[in-house]
Every structure is written in C-alpha cells, then in structure tokens.
Amino acid sequence: MSRLGSKPLQIPEKVKVEFNNSVLNVHGPLGVIKQPIDSRMTVKVAKDTVIVEALGATREHNMLHGLIRGLIKNAFEGVSTGFKKNLEIQGLGFKAAIEGNKIVMSLGYSHPVVFIVPEGIKVVIEKLTLLTVSGVDKGLVGEVAARIRAQKKPEPYKGTGIRYAGEHIIRKVGKAAAGSAGGGKK
C-alpha cells in the first residue's frame, strides 16, 4: 500500500468534488478540472475529505495510488489558487507581444515566431520581455511554458534566449586571443 496515497485529502473551501463514471470533477472559483481515474483505483468523497483506495496490492497499484492522489491534490490547488510559470526573454531586440490568442516573438530570427496559446491558459506580457503563463492545470501550464522556452533556448556563450525566471545558465568561455595562449611564434 502506498504510504502517501492512503492519506486523506482535505477539500478546500469553495471547491466541489463529484466522482462518477471513473472521472473526478473538481469545481472551484478559478475553473473546472475533469480528472480521469484509473479503473484500478476508487475514490471516496466524504463531506470534507477525499480518500483514494487501490483495488489491488501489486507494484503498479502502489504507483498509481500515489499518482492519482497527487493529481487530485494538484486539481484542488489549481481550481482554488492556480498555477503560474514566469519566463524571461533576454537578448538585444528580443521581445514578445500578444495578438488575440497568439504570442508573436522577435527572437533574432529573420521572421517573427508565432506561438498559439491553447485554451485554458492565460499569458500576460510585462515590459515586452517578461511572460507569465498561468492556468488551473499544472501539467498544461508547465508544458506551455516549456514549449515557449523551446522556441529559443538560452545559449551558453551570451546567455540570450528564453529562460525561466531565476534560472541559472552555465556560461562558457569564448575563444582566447591568438597570442595569449602561449602557442604563438617567437
């Protein structure tokens, strides 16, 4: 039995939970999440707690037990407070703008890079170089932030590109001058 999976989850205030047909519906002030539950698990919803139970005792049951509990916990947090990731764009002339449901970015290429924002995700741009990706689904927020970052990953020599806020980029040293390495003619 999973140690963490067997702990009951407290339902936050203003959050409603329903379980039917192997789908857990979580309704909150920020939105709705429909979390599918594997057939090897069952969910019991009490007045203010949710308990996940495994229907077997194999290793797969134990792994799913903790996973399903973690997904439900993320759903509770998502519909009550939400998730967000901050991105920074660094580089001369690098910037971003929002046009409808698209992000148009100038990233040093000969063409603008257009990124379509999926439904359920909100992107806010501050000062042309700071992006905030937010939403109720933790996995979707992380995936969208990673896909935006993949448009121009930070390079190790100048550090230009898109990075997570606070991310440390290990910088490489460029080429040394021809005569200073000691390999020049006398």
- Residue 2 confidence (pLDDT) above 70: no
Domains 9-80 and 83-164 share a fold: yes
Q: Which CATH architecture has domain 83-164?
A: Alpha-Beta Complex (3.90)
pLDDT of residue 111: 93
Most confidently modeled range among 47-61, 98-112, 171-185:
98-112
| Digit-coded pLDDT (tens) for 125-181 | 988 889 999 999 999 999 999 999 999 999 999 889 999 998 888 889 888 866 555
Q: What is the pLDDT of residue 151?
A: 92
Quickly list DSSP for 15-43: -EEEEETTEEEEEETTEEEEEE--TTEEE
Residues 102, 104, 105, 108, CA torsion sign:
positive
Contact 26, 35 (CB under 8 A): yes
Evaluate whether 108 touches 160 at the Cβ level (below 8 Å): yes
What pairing do the DSSP bridges indicate for beta strands 9-10 and 83-90? Answer: unpaired
Find where tokens 């205030």 sit. Answer: 13
Q: Identify the residue whose tokens are 């759903």.
A: 75
pLDDT of residue 56: 86
Task: Indicate the domain borders of the chain.
Answer: 9-80, 83-164
pLDDT for 54 equals 87
Q: Cα(122)–Cα(78) distance, rounded to whole angstroms?
A: 13
The pLDDT score that the predictor gives to residue 4 is: 77
pLDDT value for 169: 87
DSSP string, 153-169: PPPTTT--EEEETTPPP
Backbone angles phi, psi at 44, to 5 degrees: -110, 120
Give pLDDT tens digits for 24-40.
999 999 989 999 998 88
Provide the pLDDT for residue 53. 87
For residue 183, the model assigns a pLDDT of 55
Identify the CATH number of the domain defined by range 9-80: 3.90.930.12
Q: Give Cα 54 distance to the centre of its chain.
A: 28
- Structure confidence at residue 62 as a pLDDT band (50, 70, 90): confident
Q: Model confidence over 65-102: pLDDT tens digits? A: 889 999 999 999 999 999 999 999 998 999 999 999 99
pTM, 2 dp = 0.83
Instruction: Give the pLDDT confidence score for residue 1 in this predicted structure.
Output: 58
